[in-house]
Amino acid sequence: MSRIFHIFRKDAIRLWPQASVFLALLAANAWADRKFPNAVHDGPFPLLLVAVLLPIACSVLLIALIHQERLVGDRQYWLSRPIPRRELVGAKILFIVVFVNLPLLLSQGAVVVAAGLPLFPNWSNFLSMQLFFTAVDILPVAALAAVSKNMAPAVFVFLATVGWMTGLAALLWPGEIALRLATDTSLVWIEVSLAAAALATGSIAVLLLQYSRRAVMLSRALLAGTLVLAACSLLLPHSAKWAIQMKCSPQRVDPKDFRISAGHGGGRMREQTRSTTDDTAVSLEFSIQIDHPPGVTMYAEGFRPIAEAPSGDSWQPAWALAAIQSVKGVSSLLVDVDREFYNRGKDTPVHFYGTIDFTVLSDGQMIPVPGRRGVNVPDIGWCIGPPEDSSQVWCDATLPKARLLPVVAGEPSGGDYSAVLAPYPYSAGYSPLQSLAFSVPPKFFVHADEVRLLVQKPIAYIQRSFDFGNIMLADYEVGHP
């Protein structure tokens, strides 16, 4: 044990400049988090540099720490001394806990207290954020340092890896990125969790291999495979992610209580008001009936349609952008169908069916719109009312467990839904808070006394099928006479 503290003290003396820079940037970032909550848009330029320099400073500190006893090469002084590897590893872990994890925990706690949120009830959230930070920001960098000989190559590989993963996402997602952002936002915690698990597992394997055998080439290959696996986890199909989401349902519901069927009038609404601006798609609108118990709301998360023509021609995307809207108690399903398929089969009977993924939310208490001084909303966080030039309620939360639905004169008015209702915090960043925006209808500024916010908590994640039978697609085109 004494040798562990001796190595720790040696590292602290040698690396105090790097550690001081990191701690100073961490303190500046925590101060800016409360002084300029929306610093990306309205903060001064130096604060933007803090957000960029902070992860770089952390990575430089970690690489320098591992390189104090480099694992690549055979001329290092410590190889000729009786230093057990487990004690060397213990000293490095102690340094990281004291100079990285513990300061980060203190800064996050200070930000939460400054935001008006309770500190101790959030201890499990802090633990989750520390685990994600260690898995994403510490272990991969330490593994990279363990397989590199000098600081410059390690930093170069680090920056090249970040650029490669960014380029890979841009290469694989064009044409689908808008749909991903529109429909898969609530499932992003699954992708991040899988990527973090892949990075943590692979990085730990690299570190164990290097500190036990110093198998450099094998460790480098393993680290490269880990990065590829982490990148691939971000491309998980929607169906697989929703299957995981359904396993995380807080409650079990009776399938008979939640049904979808065609609405009156053969599935077509009298008034269609929406049309796509995409030249490759045609907007269709179907009147539907959604049956569910009173006191709950069903929010559509994903949509998988299938259209089959008698000729054998079919349209069945893996997932598609769709929406369900309700006007005066009448619900409609809005679908963008591939234009080429539509033109081929619009005048022939087409079997149209599929599945919709729903989040089932239980209606809770009704609260007034928060004022500018803010109020602590249960299961969400600290919320501030809209200023004169905005129509949004802003909330800061460590882990939102509910959403806010604007209600005007007793009628739901829709609004943006930006809260990711994850079972645990999944952020690997330095701020402990999520900023949420809920749109308040324009009527708020005219009839503020009639506007309330309904708190809704998720009780289940379900999947329901629909079948409109054989229909003529042209009869449901938006704008069709």
The reply to whether the predicted model has a pTM over 0.85 is no
Distance between first and last Cα of the chain: 83
**What are the structural domains, with CATH classification, of the chain?**
2-236 (no CATH), 255-358+462-476 (2.60.40), 363-458 (no CATH)
* Tens digit of pLDDT at every position of the chain (481 positions): 788 898 999 999 999 999 999 999 999 988 888 776 654 445 555 667 888 889 889 999 999 999 988 888 776 666 666 678 888 899 999 999 999 999 999 999 999 998 888 888 888 899 999 999 999 999 999 999 998 887 666 666 666 665 555 554 444 444 344 444 444 567 889 988 999 999 999 999 999 999 888 888 999 899 989 988 988 887 788 888 889 999 989 988 887 888 888 875 444 444 444 445 557 888 888 888 888 888 888 888 888 889 998 888 888 887 765 577 776 667 788 888 888 888 887 888 999 999 988 889 998 888 888 887 888 888 888 888 776 666 778 888 898 888 888 887 777 766 555 567 889 998 888 989 888 877 776 666 666 667 788 888 999 999 988 888 888 888 888 865 4
Q: Which residues of 425-437 are buried (b: 16+ CB within 10 A; e: fewer)?
A: bbbbbbbbbbebb
**Rounded to whole angstroms, how far apart are CA atoms 370 and 161?**
44
Do β-strands 451-471 and 403-408 pair in parallel, antiparallel, or remain unpaired? Answer: antiparallel
What are the tokens at 101? 């994890």
